[in-house]
Amino acid sequence: MRELNAYNEIVGLMQSYFDGLYHADSKILADVFHPDARYVNMMEGEYMNYSRSEYLEIIKQRTSPASQGEQQNDQILSIEFGGSQMAFVKARMAMMGREYLDFLTLIFDDGGWKIMSKIFTYNLQKGDA
C-alpha cells in the first residue's frame, strides 16, 4: 500500500513541477525541489550546474510559456523506485521552442518527496531553427 501511495505522491509532485515550469512560478518549484537540489544542463557547450536558489532566480526572470499562449505539454515517461526513500523520474516537456528530456532523482525527506537533482537536455522543436 505504501508503494501505491508513494507513486501517487510522486505523480502529484510532478504535476506541481510541470505547472511551476509552465507558469514560471518559482514558489511552486521551491516546494518541489529539496533545499540541497542541483540543476544540471547536459547540452554540449551549455553545461550548467546550479544550486536550487540559483535555479529559482533563473525561473523568476523567465517569461512563462503560459503567458505566451503555449499549450502545456508534459508527460511522465517512467517512475522507478530504489526502496522506500529514493525514486527516479524520466519526464518530457515541450515549451519555449524546445523539447526537453528530464532525469529527476527524488528523495523522501521530512515527510515528503522532493526533487534532489534535475539533469536535462533538449532539442529544438520541429520547425524551429
Q: What is the pLDDT of residues 62-72, one digit of tens each?
A: 999 999 999 99
- C-alpha dist (Å) from residue 85 to 21, 38, 50, 113: 25, 18, 24, 8
Cβ pair 60, 49 in contact under 8 A? no
pTM of the model: 0.91
The rounded distance, in Å, linking the Cα atoms of 77 and 9 is: 16
CATH number at residue 26: 3.10.450.50
pLDDT, one tens digit per residue, over 20-75 is 999 999 999 999 999 999 999 877 788 889 999 999 999 999 999 999 999 999 99
Question: Which domain range does residue 95 map to?
Answer: 2-124
3-state secondary structure of 79: strand
Q: Give the chain's domain count.
A: 1
Radius of gyration of the chain (CA): 14
60 lies in a domain?
yes
